[in-house]
Amino acid sequence: MTHIQYHTQSMQPFIEEVELDQLAPYAKLALQQLLTKDGAGNDFTDWVDWPIQYNIEEFNRIKQAAQKIQSDSEVLIVIGIGGSYLGAKAAIDFLNHSYYNLLAKSKSLPQVFFVGNHLSSTQIQDLIEVMGDRSFSINVISKSGTTTEPAIAFRIFKQKLIAKYGKDEARNRIYVTTDSKKGALKKEAQEEGYETFTIPDGIGGRFTVLTPVGLLPIAVTGADIDRLMQGAQDATNKYRMDNYHENSAMRYAMIRNCLYRKGKDIEILVNNEPALQPFGEWWKQLYAESEGKNHRGLFPMTANFTTDLHSIGQMIQEGKRNLFETVLRFSNVRKDISVPEIEEDLDGLKYLQGRQVSEINEKALEGTVIAHQDGQTPISILEIDNMNEEALGELIIFFEMAVAISGYLNGINPFDQPGVEAYKKNMFALLGKPGYEDLQAQLKQK
Residues classed as catalytic? 289, 424
Within 13 A of 34's CA, how many CA atoms are on the CB side? 29
Q: Cβ distance 258 to 405 under 8 Å? A: no
Phi then psi dihedrals of residue 197, to 5 deg: -125, 160
SS3 400: helix
Beta-carbon neighbour count of residue 139 at 10 Å? 29
**Burial class of residue 374 (count of CB atoms within 10 Å of its CB; 0-12, 13-18, 19+):** exposed
Among the listed residues 170, 143, 158, 161, the one whose alpha carbon sits nearest the alpha carbon of residue 80: 143
Residue 223 to residue 91: CA distance in whole angstroms = 9
SS3 202: coil
Alpha helices in 107-172 (DSSP H): 121-131, 148-171
Q: Which of 417, 440, 426 is nearest to 148 (CA)?
A: 426
Q: What are phi and psi of 108, to 5 degrees?
A: 55, 40
Q: Can you give the C-alpha Rg of the chain in angstroms?
A: 23
Burial status of residue 167 (CB atoms within 10 A of its CB: 0-12, 13-18, 19 or more)? exposed
| Neighbouring residues of 1: CB distance < 8 A, sequence distance ≥ 6 | 234, 390
**Are the C-beta atoms of 188 and 65 separated by less than 8 Å?**
no
How is residue 298 annotated by DSSP?
Answer: P
Contact 66, 216 (CB under 8 A): yes
